[in-house]
Amino acid sequence: MVIRGVNDGTLWTVGRYFPNLEALDLSELDNLTGASLKEITDGCRSLNSVKFTRNRFSDEGVAVFLEVCGGSLNNLCLNNVREVGKETAILLAKYCKRLHYLDLSWCIKVTEEELKRIMSCCSLLRSLMLFGWTQELCKKANDMVQV
């Protein structure tokens, strides 16, 4: 189901009035901008599950979100957030130590080295989705997650 009419103002309301929100799904809301991400970052500090599938958030915007909120995350889906890259990868590795599930499918700007760093730093990671990555890299990642 696609909900129409969700915009940056809607996320301002969520950030302001739901500070204890634990799960948020912003999948396929491609009209949201970095302003939405800022409102969530500023207001919702208890998130443990976030889905940003198929939206246009910048690498820098997602990175700032992870710097502030990453420590509480258990589940993170960045599937098809095409701008996700180096900054997000660095802060994923640094702040998201509690992650159990991570979806980086179609995040083509994240390099193999950055992925290795994420995996070595996120020792609780149990599920890693990498659709759109090479088969060889997916196998290496799968072997690392199962160790």
pLDDT category, 3, cuts 50, 70, 90? low
At 36, list the tokens.
């939405």
Calculate mean pLDDT across residues 10-22: 92
Is the pLDDT confidence value at 147 over 50?
Answer: no
Q: Where are the domains of the chain?
A: 13-146
**Distance of alpha carbon 57 from alpha carbon 60, whole angstroms:** 8
pLDDT category, 141, cuts 50, 70, 90? low
Residue written as token pair 């701008």: 83
Instruction: State how far the alpha carbon of 103 is from the alpha carbons of 15, 75, 94, 100, in Å.
Output: 24, 9, 17, 10
Is the pLDDT confidence value at 136 over 80?
Answer: no
> What's the pLDDT tens digit per position in 85-128?
999 999 999 999 999 999 999 999 999 899 999 999 999 999 99
Write the class of the CATH domain 13-146. alpha beta
